[in-house]
Amino acid sequence: MSTDELWALHEEVAARLATYLLAEKRLLEDRLKQLGGGIEGERTKSSGGRRPYPTVVPKFRNPDRPYETWAGRGKTPRWLTAKLKSGKRIDDFRISEVA
């Protein structure tokens, strides 16, 4: 076969593969829609997001760095862990309520 014939064969194969892939993609998208999802379905389900939680006020403050606070939720911060190991009590770092 000559180079021109090979190139023509290559273009024909590429065109057939492209149409086959598009048809297969449509078939799979239709199947996904039947199963109750698809990309659009996922967006509508997750658009609700997380439920709103109330803001949590900090309950403990680092006396060395007052901008470091902790609300008492989650893992204990490193500064508080170090202070507790040095012998302090957690109530020493409690923020007094001013209301």
Same structural domain, 35 and 64: no
CA 34 to chain centre: 27
Average pLDDT of adjacent 10-residue blocks, the chain of 99 residues:
93 96 94 76 62 89 93 94 94 81
Is residue 83 one of the residues assigned to a domain? yes
40 and 64, same domain (yes or no): no
Same domain flag for 8 and 41:
yes
pTM confidence score: 0.47
72 within 8 A of 35, measured Cβ to Cβ? no
Whole-number pLDDT of residue 53? 84
Residue numbers of the domain that contains 38: 3-46
The answer to whether residue 42 is domain-embedded is: yes
Closest CA to 59 of 11, 84, 96, 29: 96
User: Nearest CA to 93 among 66, 61, 45, 69?
Assistant: 61
Closest CA to 95 of 76, 55, 68: 68
Instruction: Say if 52 falls within a structural domain.
Output: no
Note whether residue 41 is domain-resident.
Answer: yes
Give yes or no: residues 7 and 42 share one domain: yes
For residue 53, tell me if it sits in a domain: no
Domain count, the chain: 2
